[in-house]
Structure formats: structure tokens, C-alpha cells
Structure 1
Amino acid sequence: MGMSEVMHALKPYLAIISLQFGYAGMYIITMVSFKHGMNHWVLSVYRHIIALVILAPFAFVLERKIRPKMTLPIFLRLVALGFLEPVLDQNLYNMGMKATSTTFSSAIVNVLPAITFLMALIFRLESLNLKKLPTWAKIIGTVITVSGAMVMTLYKGAAFQIIKPSAMMSHHDSNSSTEPSDQHWLLGTVYLFASLCSWAGFFILQSFTLKVYPAEISLAAWICVMGVVEGSIATFVMERDLSVWVIGWDSRLLACVYSGVVCSGMAYYVQGVVTRERGPVFLTSFSPLIMIITAALGSFVLGEQVHVGSIIGAILIVFGLYSVVWGKSKDVQNIKGDMVIKGEGQELPVKNDKISGSDIFDKIEVSVAADDEKSKGPEKNSNNNNNVPSTVTPPRS
């Protein structure tokens, strides 16, 4: 395997891991903007306006020849996609985070792979054959990944510091915690769980939409359009004060630009490409990495303490991710093995799922020999009819 083939195989993994770093950065910037008075309804609208401005030129130029014609069923799917993620998921998550705590909300996101896996099973995007090892690898990997994320949150253990914090960091007031004073845990948990169901539903619907609208950049741009329109309507309904739309040259503007470019524009495109190639379960199985990245950034950049529970949870998450990815890779190989093997001017149907490579080449050689006999004339071909196996489809006229 050459270097180009290796890089092509690694593209989905590198894209998703990079996306998790982007989400981790957005999480920090967004929290700072909320402290400066940013309204989460307005943030959702502004970030999609910026994403649309960036995506629209690329979609218009690069996909003008492959972009399918807009139909009513496709348009209705775009409306649903714009409501599920830009409006419902983002705002419910922010409402849940304010009602509970930043730690709890970041931990519950790791349930997303399990919810997506269950939805994928319901809509038959994932196969469940308990007699095959890849299926058990995906199930066990999902459970291990979620368990590792829960360990990182619920179990702390002994604490230590990798880097000694600076003098400025050591004099921080203990009241600077990001946890809100008025916490409504039950309602906040409902908000967070509803946002995850909406996010998982977005991935499932996106997978179906890409089959009839295979233009990733254009689809991402349309999602932003619907997010702006539907988000604006929701904002005017929920926030009657027009002053919430005013932002300054501070963290609020940075949050809009960063989340619009990285987490709406680039994210929708990358998610579409990876979902089309590997499926929604593969995509969401990497979401627990956000928690590891956030813990690492907090340790190295802010000098925060690292707990033993975080290390144990991170190890479990790595093993869980490896199990899910391994199961998905075996599924891809099985799908390729079940495909019809096509020869020049003929097809060789594969009836045995466990057919070996040598058997395939034997059938191809027999088929080529049959073609040669037929080309020599009807007399010789009629004498050798018994030598041609019945499983070989005769050449098409």
C-alpha cells in the first residue's frame, strides 16, 4: 500500500479528530461569551449566517455540475435538518448547560454514540448480527466508550498537576466556577437528553438525505440557510427584546465567528462526507474525545489538576473507540466481499460468503477459457460445453 493510499484511508479519522478539537475550542469560547451577556438564540443565528457566507461560494462553484435538482421531498428534509441541529439541538444544549453545570453537560454528550447506534438500528443503517464478531465489537465498544466518559465525570480519585500553574492562575477566586448558582438539574437533564436525541436524529436524517442529494457542500449551505430562517423565527418568539441582537467587538463576536466557521461551516461538510462514507455511528463514536481534549487543554494551558478518574476514563474511551472502529472496518470489508464480482463483459455471482481469493481467480480463468473456446468456432465450442461450469454466466451479446 502506497503513501497516497494510506493517507486516503486515514482521511476520515484525521477529519473527525480535528473536528473534536474544534468543538472543544468552541465550548471554551462559547462559555466566555455567555458570561459577557451573549444570548444563545442569537448566537445560533449569527454563527449560521457566517457559515453560509463562507460555504455558499464554494457550493456554487465546485458543485454546480453535480448538484441535484431541488424537489419538494428534498426541501422538506432540509427544513427538518435545519430545525433538528441549528435550532433544536444547539439551543436545548445551551439551556441544559445553564440549568445544570458545565461538567455535567460535557459528560452527558458522551451518550451520543449510544443514542445514534440505537437510532441507526431502528432505521436499518446498521446491521445487528449477534453471530458475527464485528457486531459485538460495536456493541461492546459503545458501552465501554460511554462507561469511560461516565468514569471521567463521576469518579475523581487522587489529583496531581502536570504543569505548575502561574501565579495569576493560583490566585483565582474560588467563586469563579462556571457552575450556575441556580441549578434545576431535572429540567436541565431533560433539555440535554432532548438535545442529544435531536443531534442523533440530525445525523440519521443527514445520512438519508445524502443518498438523494449527494452534494456535501451544498447540503451544508442549505442547512445553514434553514438554520438562519428558522432560528430567527424562534429567536423573535422567545426573545422580544431587540437589544439581544447587539454584540460588540469582544468574545461574543469571536464566538459567532469561530463557531460559524469551524463548528457550522466546516463541521457540516466534514460530517456529511464522513457520514456518507462510514455512517453516522462511526462519526459519533469519536465524540467522547472532546472530554479528553478539554481535560488535556485544561491541564497544559490552564494548569488545572488531573484526576486519576480522568486517566482511567480516557483509557476506557480509547479502547471503546478502537473496538467500534474495528467493527465498522470489518463491516466495510464484508460489504465489499458480498458485492458481485464483475469481469469484462460478464458477471460472476458470488454465492458463498466465505469465497477465497484463489477461488475467484479460478472462476475467472475458466470463464476466459470458455470465451476462447467460443471464439474458435461453433464446432470446438460445442465439443467443450461440458467443461464450462454452470455457475459462470455466459458473455452478454
Structure 2
Amino acid sequence: MACQQARGSTCGDLFERCKPYIAMVSLQFGYAGMNVITKVSLNHGMSHYVLVTYRHAFAVLSIAPFALIMERKTRPKITFSLLIQIFVLGLLGPVVDQNFYYAGLKFTSPTFSCAMSNILPAMTFVMAVLFRMEKVNLRKVMYQAKVVGTLVTVAGAMLMTLYKGPIVEMVWTRRVHPHQANVPVSMESDDKDWFKGSIFLIIATLAWASLFILQTYTLRSFSSAPLSLTSLICFMGTMQALVVTLVMEHRTNVWSIGFDMNLLAAAYAGIVTSSIAYYVQGQVIQKRGPVFASAFSPLMMIIVAIMGSFILAEKIYLGGVLGAILIVAGLYSVLWGKYKENKEKKEMEAMALPVKSVEASNGKFIDMIEVVGEIEMEKAMNKAVVKVSAPAPGEEAKA
């Protein structure tokens, strides 16, 4: 019986440790699907400004009811400072990031867009170091692994972008040609403004990295109400995106949407990659930090490359395969460094003895080490720490 309980406890602990990894890998599949579906929608003429507005309207409708019911008692008071933070989060994510990303996606391709956005871990890591959210001590191997892994990841993304090489024939692409797939011919045209698309994607990635950093700060106030924070970000983003769309689009027919790919793109992106993604991303950031959450983004490019070859008949080149290998190696290095850092932090917390302030009868406070249990007693003895229990002045007279 005891063995079964121990085995169950071990499995439970293992699952808890794996939850952040499972959550972030699952999100990359969601982002990959969004890229492919959105590319088809944009190629059918949908305005990316309208798409962003509809996307976050769907996000609000999908998550706000849960926030209102489940967090009605734990929701913090919205101060002016928090309101400004939510406003900036809505501006960075729904407006700047997604509008520029969709514009870059329209000028390039899903695989190229994902490749350019893989500078996200490097940007997030640099910003986290500047804001003192991450430590860098190059004398230790785990910090070296984080830095080197970030650089290798970016190198892999740049390799996919700058070097094509020969076409790699996959089993599922040997008999598939662009004109045989249900894809508009314009998707393979050569008149795409790749440079302009690259600039848009870099701006979008910078906004995304800033979102990770600011969300880390805001979550400290919304630690008990993450659904409410996600709802507020999506609502603020919807209002801001609506204003931007009214300014940029003067035709009323751009708002028309039916039961087609445009509706699917807006609903899928809003529910999966906005409401669910913001919530899951926030939970992972609370536990592991912004760098850990951003380190998984390179996986999205590999998934999109495979999905693009299936659905969009995109060609896979040798440079893409080599870049994917570098990305996986860099991702593993970053995650290994984060794992070692987290393990060291837990060991330091376990070794630290709690200090308890005890008030004596004379009104002064005495700091005493509180030792509970045999394990803590052994640690205290090993450190030659002795706890002395003595009656406070006046107590002995009473006795």
C-alpha cells in the first residue's frame, strides 16, 4: 500500500514538472495551425486589420464568461497603474504584434514568418536580463547553456531564412504540385516584398517579447485571477484594434464575413491563440519566467513547415532541414540551462532555514531559527546552529 502511494506521488510530481513543457509544446501546434489557416484567409482578400478585430472579439466571448463566474471573488481591484498596464498589453499583443505579423505573413509565407519570429527567445532573453528577470553568470555552465542555446536557435532560424539549398523530397510531397493543391496560384508568385515583410515581422516579434516582459509584472497583481487578466487584455485589444481598423479601412464591405475560411481563421485565432494562449502562457510565465515561455517558439516553425508542405504545397529545402536541427539543439540547451537553474534555486530554498520573530514580554522582538522535523534538525546540526529556548524576562518570576 505504501509502495503504491509512493509510486502515485512520484508520478504526480513528474506530471507537475512536465506540465509547463506540455503546455508550451501544445501551444506551438495551435500557433502553427493559426499561421496556415490565416495565410489562406489573407490570400482570399481578408483585411488583416479586420481579422485582428474579429479575432479578439471571439477571444473575449470565449473566455470572459469563465472569468466572470470563476474569479468573481478573487479578482483584484483595478487601479490606475493596472489599467495602464492592461492598456499597453492590449496595444503590444493584439494591435502591434498581430497587425504587423499578419502584414509580414501576407508579404511572405507561413514558414518564412515563423523563421523570422524565432528571434523571439533572443529578444526576450536580452530584455529579461536588462529588467533583471534573468541572471547571467558565465562562470557557470547552466548560464552558458542558456546563452549558447539562444544564439544557436537564432542561427538556425537565420539559416532557414538565408539559405535554401536543394529541395528535399518528402514522402508526402513527391506527387503534390502547387497547381494540384487547392491553393491559389498567387501563393507561389515571386512578387512578394520579402524585405518589407521581414521588417514587419521584426517589429511584431519585438512587441511580442515586450508583451512577455510586461505580462510578468502584471501577473503579480493578477496571480489569483489569470482568466480575468486574459479577458481584459483581449477586450482592450478589441477596442484598440477596432479604432485602428476604422482609421485604416474606409470601405464597409471589408467587415462582411460568412461561413467560410475567414470566419474559421478569426474564430480559431481568437479562441486558440488569443484566449487560451494568453492564459496558458501566463501560467507558465508565473512558474518558469518569460524566457522559458518564449524558448518554445522555434518549434512552431518546424510544425508549420511540415503542415505547409501538406496543406499549402510549400517546398521544403535543405536549409530548412539543417536550420530545424539547429533550432532543436538550441532549444534543448536553453531548457537544460533553465532546468538546472530552477533545480539550484529549489535546493537553495530547501537549505535556507526559516527565521521566526518572537516577541518577548519587554516588547522587543527576538529572531529565532524555527526548526521543524528531523530533517531540518539535522541540517541545523550540520551547520552548527543551536536553538536556545529561554524564558523571557519576567516569566521566571511568574513561575
Alignment-derived partner of residue 16 in structure 2: 8
Q: Deviations over 1:207-262 (max 9, x none)?
A: 01011221211111000110111110111011111211111110000001110110
Alignment-derived partner of residue 247 in structure 2: 237
Q: 1:267-278 maps to which residues of 2 (within 5 A)? A: 267-278=277-288
Determine which of 275, 296, 309 is the counterpart of 1:286. 296
1:342 to 2:390 alignment: no
The 8 Å contact of residues 44 and 91 in structure 1, kept in 2 or not, is answered as yes
Q: Deviations over 1:7-27 (max 9, x none)?
A: 111110001000000010011
The 8 Å contact of residues 76 and 222 in structure 2, kept in 1 or not, is answered as yes
The 8 Å contact of residues 110 and 287 in structure 1, kept in 2 or not, is answered as yes
The 8 Å contact of residues 42 and 106 in structure 2, kept in 1 or not, is answered as no
1:226 counterpart SS class:
helix
2 CA distance for matches of 1:164 and 1:76?
Answer: 50
Q: What is the identity, as a one-letter code, of the residue corresponding to 1:124?
A: R
- The count of corresponding residues between Structure 1 and Structure 2 is 369
* Alignment CA distance shift 1:360-1:243 (3 Å): farther
1:108 to 2:130 alignment: no
Alignment-derived partner of residue 189 in structure 1: 198
How far off is 1:57 after superposition? 1.4
**What is the Cα-based RMSD across aligned positions, in Å?**
3.0
Determine which of 215, 226, 239 is the counterpart of 1:206. 215
Task: Provide structure 1 residue ranges, at least 5 long, that are not aligned to the other structure.
Answer: 350-357, 379-397
Q: 1:149-188 maps to which residues of 2 (within 5 A)? A: 149-165=157-173, 169=177, 171-172=179-180, 176=185, 178=187, 182-188=191-197
More displaced 10-residue stretch of structure 1: 230-239 or 305-314:
305-314
Q: What is the identity, as a one-letter code, of the residue corresponding to 2:354?
A: K
1 CA distance for matches of 2:242 and 2:369?
Answer: 55
1:162 counterpart SS class:
coil
1:150 counterpart SS class:
helix
The 8 Å contact of residues 137 and 143 in structure 2, kept in 1 or not, is answered as yes
1:324 to 2:334 alignment: yes
2 CA distance for matches of 1:170 and 1:181?
Answer: 14
Counting aligned pairs with the same residue, the percent is 45
How far off is 1:59 after superposition? 0.9
1:135 to 2:143 alignment: yes
More displaced 10-residue stretch of structure 1: 47-56 or 162-171:
162-171
More displaced 10-residue stretch of structure 1: 47-56 or 75-84:
47-56
2 CA distance for matches of 1:232 and 1:63?
Answer: 27
More displaced 10-residue stretch of structure 1: 143-152 or 283-292:
143-152
Q: What is the identity, as a one-letter code, of the residue corresponding to 2:252?
A: L
1:45 counterpart SS class:
helix
TM-score for both structures, normalised by structure 2: 0.83
Q: What is the identity, as a one-letter code, of the residue corresponding to 2:199?
A: V
1:204 counterpart SS class:
helix
How far off is 1:104 after superposition? 3.2
1:37 counterpart SS class:
coil
2:164 counterpart SS class:
coil
Q: 1:79-94 maps to which residues of 2 (within 5 A)? A: 79-94=87-102
1 CA distance for matches of 2:384 and 2:157?
Answer: 55
* Alignment CA distance shift 1:301-1:186 (3 Å): closer
How far off is 1:97 after superposition? 2.7
* Alignment CA distance shift 1:157-1:47 (3 Å): same
More displaced 10-residue stretch of structure 1: 234-243 or 149-158:
149-158
2 CA distance for matches of 1:195 and 1:176?
Answer: 27
* Alignment CA distance shift 1:183-1:330 (3 Å): same
Alignment-derived partner of residue 53 in structure 1: 61
Q: What is the identity, as a one-letter code, of the residue corresponding to 1:226?
A: M
TM-score for both structures, normalised by structure 1: 0.84
How far off is 1:135 after superposition? 1.3
* Alignment CA distance shift 1:30-1:362 (3 Å): closer
2 CA distance for matches of 1:126 and 1:370?
Answer: 36
Alignment-derived partner of residue 276 in structure 2: 266
More displaced 10-residue stretch of structure 1: 154-163 or 127-136:
154-163
Determine which of 340, 344, 361 is the counterpart of 2:378. 361
1 CA distance for matches of 2:156 and 2:204?
Answer: 21
2 CA distance for matches of 1:360 and 1:321?
Answer: 41
